[in-house]
Structure 1
Amino acid sequence: MSVLRTAVRRSRRTLVGAALAAALVAGTGGWAAGTTQTAVTGPAPGAAAWRADQSLGVRLPDPATTRPADVARFFASLTDAQRHSLAVRHPLTVGNLDGAPVTLRYEANSRAITAERDRQLARATDPAGTPEDHRRARTAADRCTALLTPGRQILAFDPRGRGQVAEVHGDLTTAQRTAVIVPGSDIDLASFDRTTDRYGTPAGMAGSLRTQLAADAPGTRTAVIAWAGYTTPVGLGPDAATGRLAEAGAPRLVRLLTGLTAVGAPAPAVLCHSYGSVVCGLAVPQLDRGALADLVVFGSPGIRRDSVADLHTTARVWAARDASDWIGNIPNVELLGLGHGTDPTDPAFGARRVSAERAEGHTGYLAPGTDSLRNFAAIVLGRYGDVR
């Protein structure tokens, strides 16, 4: 009889799981050509050479295991010449090393992006390549060239997979108020700052927010980080309905935020869009208290937490969703690995509701002129009484 009961329970779970999958598909209009992605994890290429480097007569901090605070202390012990030499020899490692000086990371990433551009240009004319290989290489080289535009401040760059990048808008070294944008699906090096659907991209969202901050508080020094530092889902396929990629991305977000603390940046407001809110929901409980000031989730399918209390954070938690956002059709359930749980805008979740009446669609929350953009800026500035 126990074997029979076990079989019945398994059958019920299978049926419920199938029903949930069908509901998710129906709620999103069907799997939208989603393809399974391989998550990029671990340090950027070049870590082995970095670990083997004995040029300074000391062991260099392991990029995979050394805490950002210890990385910061290590770089503080070096001369300017020593720091510069490490950035020259190991640009990908230094450029992605949370806890390293911010301006040194900009320098290192400029070198890393230049090297990647040159590599792609060589591939674009390689006789052994196909016309499609050449086209892709030229596109990749063009993306690198765009990142090298004078004035851009690239905080992280990793060419593996679909490419990852983080960019700072403003002066992070002197900022009094900071924010981090965590994007959702379909974001990578190619779409990081695309011109179509601009305010659905990390660069577009960060630029719009920084402009609003400057308008609302011209005397306050601010910086906004557009962070595309994890492998995002492509389309509305199974990756978007599960937490697999978010689980791989959460430690990377934790390291970024811990690194900001290590270099003396003020605790940021972290703004998490769509699937990015799933990443944030998994990352926030891993942070030290005080590592972030505010958590804002918008256009969220759920964050794999039942309530604000499950985040174990002292940060204020805010949630927004506009009435025209299709994400509202997603079933807010989590079962057998599918779905992301409670709607953060549900009063039972416990987040502070933020008005987004003028936002349109799933990617319009930080478009100029919207109440959601003004509200988000007020949160970043700590003007909580101005938030509708």
Structure 2
Amino acid sequence: MSTATYALLRMTDPDRWRVAALAWRRWAALAGALGAEFGPVAARLRAAWSGAGASAATAALVGFRRRLALFRVLCWRADQALSEFASALARARDMLSRARGRADRCGLVIDDRGTVHGASPELPGVAAELSAALSLAATADTDATARLGSLIDAGSAEHRAPGPRPDCTAGAAEVRRWWDGLSPDQRNWLLATEPATLASTAGIPAADRDVANRLILDDQRAGGADEVRARIEDDTVLRPYLIGLNVSGDGRAVIALGDPDRARHVLTHVPGMTSDLESFGSELTRAERVAVRAHEVAPGEAVSAVLWLDYDAPDFVHEAWSDRQAREGAEGLRRFQESLRVTHDGPPADQTVLGHSYGSLVVGTAAAGSFAADRVVFVGSPGVGVDSASQLSVPAWSTTSRSDAIQYAAVSPGSLVPDVALAGRVPLIGPAIAFGLPEDDLWFGRNPSDPAFGARVFPSQADAGHLGYWDPGRPALDALARITAAQEPVIRP
């Protein structure tokens, strides 16, 4: 393990490593543009020329494009390693700043070697924080060095994968065993030459699926694909990993911010009605805010946030009255969560699955059976398909703002009939009495934010409405971040 010193960590600027990662990402984009130029050339060559010479020239062009694809794979490998290194350094520096602030408040002095001097009961705690920060930086440095070092001699020859491959019915665990049995060069060559067969395969690690999906994204021309392309090229604090993409229909996408296979805590964010590729950016921003805040409250542990938009979310109100799309989505969500367990490096990650609005019904339906998660969180829910937290296989949290219209609009048929009758029976004030108070009996079951449901309820700001739970600096976002980091939310009177 490398040695990270106090003085070196103080001077380190994580943004320099993010800039280096972005440079490799741009090299990959440049190579992609160059490869695209040669595709039509090969086609015109085959159309205008025949014979042995033509075949040799065509083969040379095909080989060159494959080499360019392999070069892009290696560029993204470097980008991933540098991005994760920058993120870890940023968290280590946050821990260092906390230790220094604590030392200043207690009258302690930290010398240039990182030794704490003075007399205070806080001295052991400050020294422990410093040690943890330096340990995090050293581990990140060792890991990044190894990952970058493995790329030095990579791609020197073609590497065919030996032996039989898993068939289409293979589970995630079987696929992972096969993938782990390949050499790094074999895996890189497969990604460069057969990305479409690997991009959506459960059991392939997130970093590898990201590379495969970025390669096939070049061939997608739908408007939603343009939105995805722009978002994953952003210079964000947490690097985007494109784990899944389907541009047909309204489109589907699975994007992680930070590598979920290397994170201690993983949040899966399941959005609700009208979510699609054209508008997924706002949902990704919400997931990102939770991860960033979670890093602030728990900088010693890496957090990854995954936007899981891999189901057909309702587009209109009449579709949202049915649980059909939630039931179909729940099956896919169960498989995805299980895949996260299979591909994770080291001990299992702490996994939180959050469902917003109709997405809470997807999550509740999935969690009613065997579910690979440590907890679920329901936000602004119209009901989650069950009437009690005891019917779920994992612990549940829930919140609904007092101003969220969902609890007034998505009432159950049993509640709606007497409300309508009351509104017509009492002149003038009947509608206010009938519909002016939130309902606990909702369209898809008891409100999970009702204490009688049995979930742990955390408060959110009264003015959150239906979309304001992720507003920066507000109580709901802080609570979501702490739950994601396996901490208790701060409950203020």
TM score, norm. by length of structure 2: 0.57
Tell me the residue number matched to 2:359: 276
1:164 lines up with 2:252 in the alignment: yes
- 1:328 is aligned, of 400, 407, 425, to 407
TM superposition shift of 1:66: 2.4
Alpha carbons of structure 1 residues 76 and 301: separation in structure 2 relative to 1, 3 Å: same
TM superposition shift of 1:61: 3.5
Alpha carbons of structure 1 residues 214 and 359: separation in structure 2 relative to 1, 3 Å: farther
Report if the CA contact (8 A) 2:401-2:464 is conserved: yes
1:241 lines up with 2:321 in the alignment: yes
Report if the CA contact (8 A) 1:258-1:287 is conserved: no
- The amino acid across from 2:301 in the alignment is T
Output aligned runs, 1:308-323, within 5 Å.
308-311=389-392, 313=393, 315-323=394-402
TM superposition shift of 1:267: 3.3
Q: Could you tell me how far apart the structure 2 residues matched to 1:228 and 1:161 are? A: 13
Question: What SS class does the counterpart of residue 267 from structure 2 fall into?
Answer: strand
Tell me the residue number matched to 2:181: 77
- 2:243 is aligned, of 147, 155, 158, to 155
Output aligned runs, 1:14-163, within 5 Å.
56-62=162-168, 65-116=169-220, 120=221, 137=222, 139-140=223-224, 142-149=226-233, 151-163=239-251
Tell me the residue number matched to 2:332: 252
TM superposition shift of 1:385: 5.9
Tell me the residue number matched to 2:379: 298
Report if the CA contact (8 A) 1:92-1:157 is conserved: no
Contiguous gaps of at least 5 residues in structure 1: 1-53, 121-136, 194-200
Q: Could you tell me how far apart the structure 2 residues matched to 1:167 and 1:241 are? A: 28
Alpha carbons of structure 1 residues 377 and 68: separation in structure 2 relative to 1, 3 Å: same
- 1:263 is aligned, of 318, 329, 343, to 343
What do residues 185-219 of structure 1 show as CA deviations (whole Å, max 9, x unaligned)? 111111110xxxxxxx3201111111211221222
TM superposition shift of 1:343: 1.0
Larger C-alpha radius of gyration, 1 or 2? 2
- 2:285 is aligned, of 196, 204, 212, to 204
Alpha carbons of structure 1 residues 343 and 239: separation in structure 2 relative to 1, 3 Å: same
Output aligned runs, 1:209-248, within 5 Å.
209-236=290-317, 238-248=318-328
Question: What SS class does the counterpart of residue 446 from structure 2 fall into?
Answer: coil
What do residues 286-342 of structure 1 show as CA deviations (whole Å, max 9, x unaligned)? 335xx211110011000111111111x1x321110001111011344378xx93121
Higher helix proportion: 2
- The amino acid across from 2:250 in the alignment is R
What do residues 77-119 of structure 1 show as CA deviations (whole Å, max 9, x unaligned)? 1222332333234423422222111211110010121111xxx
What do residues 39-70 of structure 1 show as CA deviations (whole Å, max 9, x unaligned)? xxxxxxxxxxxxxxx974413331xx322122
Alpha carbons of structure 1 residues 177 and 185: separation in structure 2 relative to 1, 3 Å: same
Q: Could you tell me how far apart the structure 1 residues matched to 2:324 and 2:361 are? A: 10
Q: Could you tell me how far apart the structure 1 residues matched to 2:481 and 2:224 are? A: 33
- The amino acid across from 1:383 in the alignment is Q
Report if the CA contact (8 A) 1:304-1:334 is conserved: no
Question: What SS class does the counterpart of residue 115 from structure 1 fall into?
Answer: coil
Tell me the residue number matched to 1:361: 465
TM superposition shift of 1:253: 0.6
Q: RMSD of aligned C-alpha atoms? A: 2.2
Report if the CA contact (8 A) 2:241-2:257 is conserved: yes
Q: Could you tell me how far apart the structure 1 residues matched to 2:397 and 2:340 are? A: 22
Report if the CA contact (8 A) 1:302-1:332 is conserved: no
Report if the CA contact (8 A) 1:231-1:249 is conserved: yes
Runs of 4+ in 1 over 6 A off after TM superposition: none
- 1:191 is aligned, of 279, 282, 307, to 279
Q: Could you tell me how far apart the structure 2 residues matched to 1:331 and 1:101 are? A: 39
Report if the CA contact (8 A) 2:458-2:479 is conserved: yes
Count, aligned residues? 299
TM superposition shift of 1:376: 1.0
- The amino acid across from 1:350 in the alignment is G
1:176 lines up with 2:264 in the alignment: yes
Q: Could you tell me how far apart the structure 2 residues matched to 1:379 and 1:205 are? A: 15
TM superposition shift of 1:246: 0.7
TM superposition shift of 1:250: 0.8
TM superposition shift of 1:357: 2.1
Report if the CA contact (8 A) 1:155-1:166 is conserved: yes
Q: Could you tell me how far apart the structure 1 residues matched to 2:326 and 2:448 are? A: 17
Alpha carbons of structure 1 residues 343 and 71: separation in structure 2 relative to 1, 3 Å: same
Question: What SS class does the counterpart of residue 271 from structure 1 fall into?
Answer: strand
Q: Could you tell me how far apart the structure 1 residues matched to 2:299 and 2:340 are? A: 23
Report if the CA contact (8 A) 1:179-1:224 is conserved: yes
Contiguous gaps of at least 5 residues in structure 2: 1-159, 415-441
Which of 1 and 2 has higher RCO (CA within 8 Å, sep 6+)? 1
Q: Could you tell me how far apart the structure 2 residues matched to 1:385 and 1:152 are? A: 27
- The amino acid across from 1:278 in the alignment is L
